[in-house]
Amino acid sequence: DAGITQSPRHKVTETGTPVTLRCHQTENHRYMYWYRQDPGHGLRLIHYSYGVKDTDKGEVSDGYSVSRSKTEDFLLTLESATSSQTSVYFCAISDLDRGPDTQYFGPGTRLTVL
């Protein structure tokens, strides 16, 4: 258990509204990631962070922004949600102790955009 929580776990929102998903970790892991999971696509990287205030884009970053103002929290924001952003969002962490490429995942947030 890597001490990762995600909130909310489920959310239904309307097109055009802003949405923020939160990933919280309790074990001071350096690296944090946001993925989305869609049928037929596996998981795809949205954004990642390699430290406080240090973030970078992944494969499917359009329409998303992130912030990491403290080690334990990594926020994913959909500035203006669209139906194509309906998905399950997973946060993951890794650190140098267990191998930076060995990731542990949170329970996920199911987002529905109507």
CA 104, 2, 71: angle at the middle one, nearest 5? 95
How many whole angstroms separate alpha carbon 46 and alpha carbon 77?
Answer: 11
How many whole angstroms separate alpha carbon 72 and alpha carbon 27?
Answer: 8
- Measured from the CB atom, is 48 or 64 closer to other proteins? 48
Q: Which of residues 84-103 bind other proteins (CB under 8 A)?
A: 90, 92, 94, 99-103
Q: Which of residues 58-77 bind other proteins (CB under 8 A)?
A: 58-59
CA 9, 100, 93: angle at the middle one, nearest 5? 10
**Shortest spacing between CB 82 and other proteins, in angstroms:** 23
Site for other proteins, rule CB under 8 A = 31, 33, 40-45, 48, 50, 56-59, 90, 92, 94, 99-108
